[in-house]
Chains A and B, each alone.
Chain A
């Protein structure tokens, strides 16, 4: 996490092989008061210049040249290996829970969003801000897919409907405050729900926010 003053806007780089989207994303982010300092077509180009850019966050497409497979995630893992803690938001055309887990597993300050979220400027801007400040973001569609997975002896069956809603937001990376805001609940009420959920699902309360997201996603994926 990079220390920053209130005056200085977030410095962000974009890597996507589709020029149209790259420009669109830049427009959306700039509209949200974020400074786009680099816009490149491959992960390698980004990695080559990342040290000189003094970035707060980077937005990466997952599928990029040369193999069109998981270049974005590989780049994320490389960046984390190199000790950098800038926020990384990965964009994908598909909502793939397996990738979301892998992204969350790379550490804090990471996010996984569907590309079509670019048509929701607030969502995109907020996601970049969240990862830049060390938070986690998981696309609601990924969580929806995970929750819809049917398993025998589903532990989710033990949750109340309200707890389920809270769990889904937890999985998307919302903080307790964010959950309270979204569901129009008091912070205390949300904290009570969260404790109850963690207890029912046999999960440990973790001081690190992203660990909570990871634990919840893993549980959902494992069911």
Chain B
């Protein structure tokens, strides 16, 4: 479905094109018919002559449809109107008010064609040169027009025309000078345009080269024929039919080249989409610059990246660029993020400046990709910081537990034991002196104290099991299993000692899991396995209970899940109702406690991948036949 506005626009354009085509054909056909038979040009030549405006009109339609702006199409339409055949004058020979006007603008088509070439491909005048050419052409045209109006006699047109009503004086010499001079200026301008176009094409590694070469070729052939015609006209020799035909074909090729150029630019814009794809997928700087060059068909493209640390632009290899100024044939396109931070400079062929939309697309892609990259590395950095800080919090917690346990062990517990000893000495003394009542009191105190000591021992053990720091999981897990009221088969395959954080996390995870087994599972038996698989410590805690457990039931298990998460591990739970519960915990066996952040990787799109740890040299674990060191016999299944 087309929008109504668009449909109306298309209808209007179609009407305009049909109208000018009709006018053009009318002039051509009526002129041909009005010319006496013996003076008529060859039919084939007239046909080719009539074809030229048709080609322009058709190209106007195409340019309207695909072009970036309507100026070229309008110029093409105006060209069609100015394409007035010489043969048309006999038709209007009786209209004294009209023929001098037409005679005044009968080279308008050449001016329009020149401007058309000039605005290629952007549809606007670019630099001073363009404006000078255009101004000169227009001034010359106006001067010529008024000179023709004021001085032209009927002899200046191929007809038996009525006198020119605007004629002010008979000055055939002045008229001839202006008339021929005008053509001379026109040819000179056309040559200048052609040479400029040619130079631009030759010098630049022109992106549009592939198609744009048609334009100068067409223009050159047309200019050369125009020049020949002009010479013929000036010298009064009859025109060469073959040369005239070539000239017509060259003229007709101008709009075709123009439309082809636009289509090519459009195609390049489509390739910006490829650039976007690369942007999305992420690529490094070198690849990006390479695909940019491919997209723009400009091998001379250089991308200089903003280096935030150094506050200057650097090339892909990181070398600082002293100056990235616009040089010969090159333009600089600065690209900045929406917040105004510089991102990069793209040094490209100046010709690309003609294609602002393409460059817009490119800089959008670049902006997007850099923003993506920045965002991504920022998120990864933040995530990494969060992960590390979480790990540090857990480590700090562990450290605090260890310290409390040690303080209890070295402080309160020792003192209480000493108190017990002193009470005993006092009690013995009391008994020796026959004070049995005091002795009894003291002995009772010793009993209470010892009960308190036992509780304190349990408390300290719960805060941090000394056996864990002393003997690792191989000692601590069997001891833990022994405390569980549900019989536990335990198999620990210790890979020597692991990081303290890993050991304590594993210990408390098993402790909490076994507590859940004891509290909720109604199991009669449980199995605990601990082994190292590759780089991972794997713990499984299985029971034959009622199942139906969930990780988010009970804060104890949630805390464990958080702890395991903090060290980069995972917890799996399989607990179908009635079929027991299996908790599977995996965590890195070798944690590196590093405060340093990974390389900040200011690079485009390149987010630093976290370093892969070297694979553990440990052989594949076989937890069924392992022996805990320092333990007589095996704590494993019998």
Interface residues of A (CB under 8 A from B): 17-18, 20-21, 24, 27-28, 63, 68-70, 93-99, 101-102, 104-105, 115-116, 118-121, 145-146, 149-152, 154, 214, 217-218, 221-222
Give the CA-CA distance A98 to B413 in the complex, in Å: 21
Instruction: Pick 5 A–B contacts, CB within 8 A, sort by A.
Output: A63-B409, A98-B478, A119-B421, A218-B632, A221-B632
Q: Give chain A nearest CB distance to B419 CB in angstroms.
A: 9
A94 touches which of B422, B467, B638 (Cβ 8 Å): B467
B471 touches which of A98, A105, A120, A221 (Cβ 8 Å): A98
* Residue from B420, B524, B632 with most neighbouring chain A CB atoms (10 Å): B632
Interchain CB contact under 8 A, B417 and A115? yes
* Interface window among B55-63, B485-493, B500-508: B485-493
Give the CA-CA distance A94 to B525 in the complex, in Å: 27
Specify the chain B residue showing the minimal Cβ separation from A25.
B421
Specify the chain B residue showing the minimal Cβ separation from A98.
B475
Specify the chain B residue showing the minimal Cβ separation from A101.
B632
Interchain CB contact under 8 A, A150 and B449? no
Specify the chain B residue showing the minimal Cβ separation from A149.
B482
Known: A68-B406, A116-B453. A21 touches B414 (CB 8 A): yes
Give the CA-CA distance A99 to B630 in the complex, in Å: 8
Interchain CB contact under 8 A, B466 and A214? no
Give the CA-CA distance A72 to B449 in the complex, in Å: 26
Specify the chain A residue showing the minimal Cβ separation from B415.
A20
Q: Which residues of B contact A99 (CB under 8 A)?
A: 467
Q: Which residues of B contact A20 (CB under 8 A)?
A: 414-415, 418
Give the CA-CA distance A6 to B249 in the complex, in Å: 138
Q: Give chain B nearest CB distance to A160 CB in angstroms.
A: 22
Q: Which residues of A contact B425 (CB under 8 A)?
A: 27
Interchain CB contact under 8 A, B467 and A96? yes
Interface size of B by CB at 8 A reads: 47
* Residue from A24, A94, A96, A98 with most neighbouring chain B CB atoms (10 Å): A98
Interchain CB contact under 8 A, B469 and A69? yes
Interchain CB contact under 8 A, B633 and A218? yes
Q: Which residues of B contact A21 (CB under 8 A)?
A: 414, 417-418, 421
Interchain CB contact under 8 A, B428 and A116? no
Specify the chain A residue showing the minimal Cβ separation from B425.
A27
Specify the chain B residue showing the minimal Cβ separation from A119.
B420
Specify the chain B residue showing the minimal Cβ separation from A124.
B421
Interchain CB contact under 8 A, B424 and A121? yes
Interface residues of B (CB under 8 A from A): 406, 409-410, 413-418, 420-425, 428, 446, 449-450, 453, 457, 460-461, 466-467, 469-471, 475, 478-479, 482-487, 489, 524-525, 630-635, 638
Q: Which residues of B contact A146 (CB under 8 A)?
A: 482
Closest 8 CB pairs of A and B: A119-B420, A152-B487, A149-B482, A24-B421, A69-B470, A20-B418, A119-B424, A18-B414
Q: Give chain B nearest CB distance to A52 CB in angstroms.
A: 29
Interchain CB contact under 8 A, A150 and B484? yes
Specify the chain A residue showing the minimal Cβ separation from B413.
A93
Q: Give chain A nearest CB distance to B288 CB in angstroms.
A: 55
Interchain CB contact under 8 A, B457 and A94? yes
Q: Which residues of A contact B631 (CB under 8 A)?
A: 98, 101-102, 221
Interchain CB contact under 8 A, A222 and B406? no
Interchain CB contact under 8 A, A222 and B635? yes
Interchain CB contact under 8 A, B630 and A152? no
B461 touches which of A94, A154, A217, A218 (Cβ 8 Å): A94
Specify the chain B residue showing the minimal Cβ separation from A220.
B482
A105 touches which of B414, B449, B632 (Cβ 8 Å): B632
Apart from A221-B633, A222-B635, 15 more pairs, CB < 8 Å: A18-B410, A28-B421, A68-B406, A93-B414, A96-B466, A98-B471, A98-B475, A101-B631, A102-B632, A105-B632, A118-B421, A119-B423, A121-B424, A145-B482, A217-B632
* Residue from A27, A119, A151 with most neighbouring chain B CB atoms (10 Å): A119
Specify the chain A residue showing the minimal Cβ separation from B458.
A94
Q: Which residues of A contact B423 (CB under 8 A)?
A: 119
A24 touches which of B422, B461, B486, B630 (Cβ 8 Å): B422
Q: Which residues of B contact A28 (CB under 8 A)?
A: 421, 424
Interchain CB contact under 8 A, A97 and B466? no
Give the CA-CA distance A217 to B633 in the complex, in Å: 11
Q: Which residues of A contact B466 (CB under 8 A)?
A: 63, 93-94, 96
